[in-house]
């Protein structure tokens, strides 16, 4: 281990852990006291600032390429890390759909739920229908909503087939589909297989800095002739092109 790695692992990481604990406490207090009386736009600003602080504290350094959406949009991105939603929220306020098991994460699952995350069991058609309705309503009210259409994380060196069903909300609400390519420049950010959530945070904090580039691709504008599969194909191709990866076949489920 070099000197920089040693200092980060044994000196900076404990400081980061303490700062993260303080941020979580502030988040819990804010959710309990301020959120009930704040407007939706004010809540979004709070979540954006909190997410910016979170990724900075653990050592992730965000660089944005392109223009984040400033109005209603379906934001879709490749999925590499537990940090992905916070990275995207740090760039621009967005409400996410997430796997149901994320709700069980210590503290973060509760925070995500209170911040408006919608949890889904993708194998249940009833859940997909409910999320579609909620997302369409959010889009029609002018908010951005986001999802990870691969449905699981990868090591960042490949794309899994995008699942088209939830792309339907962009058609129903007649809003743009905004593909975002996420590229982490250190393998410590990867969160796959049976990696524990807390151990992943601990591993990331042992690295001096982890740059991540969020590239906002050219939006896909739906029209009356489009099918949700067309949006999935176009989004997948745009993200694959930025990451220099092969676009897999779309998984229609």
Please count the structural domains in the chain: 1
Instruction: Confirm whether 249 is domain-assigned.
Output: no
17 strand-pairing partners: none
Gap between the Cα atoms of 89 and 224, Å rounded = 30
The domain of 15 spans: 3-243
Q: pLDDT at position 142, please?
A: 87
| Structure tokens belonging to residue 245 | 């990866």
Q: Residue 151 is inside which H or E element, if any?
A: none
The CATH number assigned to the domain holding 201 equals: 3.40.1130
Residue (of 77, 39, 32) closest to 179 by Cα position: 77
Instruction: Confirm whether 72 is domain-assigned.
Output: yes
- pLDDT tens for the 253 residues of the chain, in order: 565 665 666 789 999 999 999 999 998 888 878 887 888 889 889 999 999 999 999 999 999 999 999 889 999 999 999 999 999 999 999 988 766 666 676 666 767 766 667 776 655 556 667 677 778 888 888 889 999 999 889 999 999 999 998 899 899 899 999 999 999 999 999 998 778 888 999 999 999 999 999 999 999 999 888 999 999 999 999 999 999 998 776 655 5
CB contact burial 80-96 (16+ within 10 A = b; e otherwise): bbbbbbbbbbbbbbbbb
> For all residues of the chain together, what is the average pLDDT?
86
Compute the chain's Rg from CA coordinates.
18
Instruction: Confirm whether 143 is domain-assigned.
Output: yes
Q: pLDDT at position 6, please?
A: 57
């Amino acid at each position: 281990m070099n000197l920089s790695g040693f200092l980060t692992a044994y000196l900076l990481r404990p400081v980061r852990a303490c700062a993260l604990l303080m941020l979580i406490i502030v988040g819990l207090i804010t959710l309990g006291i301020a959120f009930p009386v704040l407007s939706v736009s004010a809540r979004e600003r709070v979540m954006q600032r909190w997410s910016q602080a979170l990724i900075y504290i653990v050592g992730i350094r965000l660089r944005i390429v392109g223009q984040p959406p400033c109005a209603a949009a379906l934001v879709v991105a490749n999925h590499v890390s537990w940090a992905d939603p916070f990275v995207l929220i740090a760039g621009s306020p967005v409400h996410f759909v997430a796997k149901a098991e994320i709700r069980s994460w210590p503290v973060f699952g509760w925070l995500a739920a209170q911040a408006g995350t919608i949890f889904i069991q993708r194998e249940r058609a009833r859940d997909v229908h409910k999320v579609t309705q909620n997302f369409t309503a959010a889009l029609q009210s002018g908010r951005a909503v986001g999802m990870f259409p691969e449905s699981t994380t990868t090591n960042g060196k490949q794309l899994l087939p995008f699942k088209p069903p939830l792309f339907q909300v962009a058609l129903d609400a007649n809003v743009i589909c905004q593909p975002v390519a996420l590229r982490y420049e250190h393998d410590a950010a990867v969160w796959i297989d049976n990696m524990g959530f807390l151990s992943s945070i601990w591993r990331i904090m042992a690295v001096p800095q982890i740059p991540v580039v969020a590239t906002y691709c050219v939006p896909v504008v739906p029209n009356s002739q489009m099918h949700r599969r067309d949006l999935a194909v176009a989004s997948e191709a745009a993200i694959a092109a930025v990451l220099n990866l092969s676009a897999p076949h779309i998984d229609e489920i």
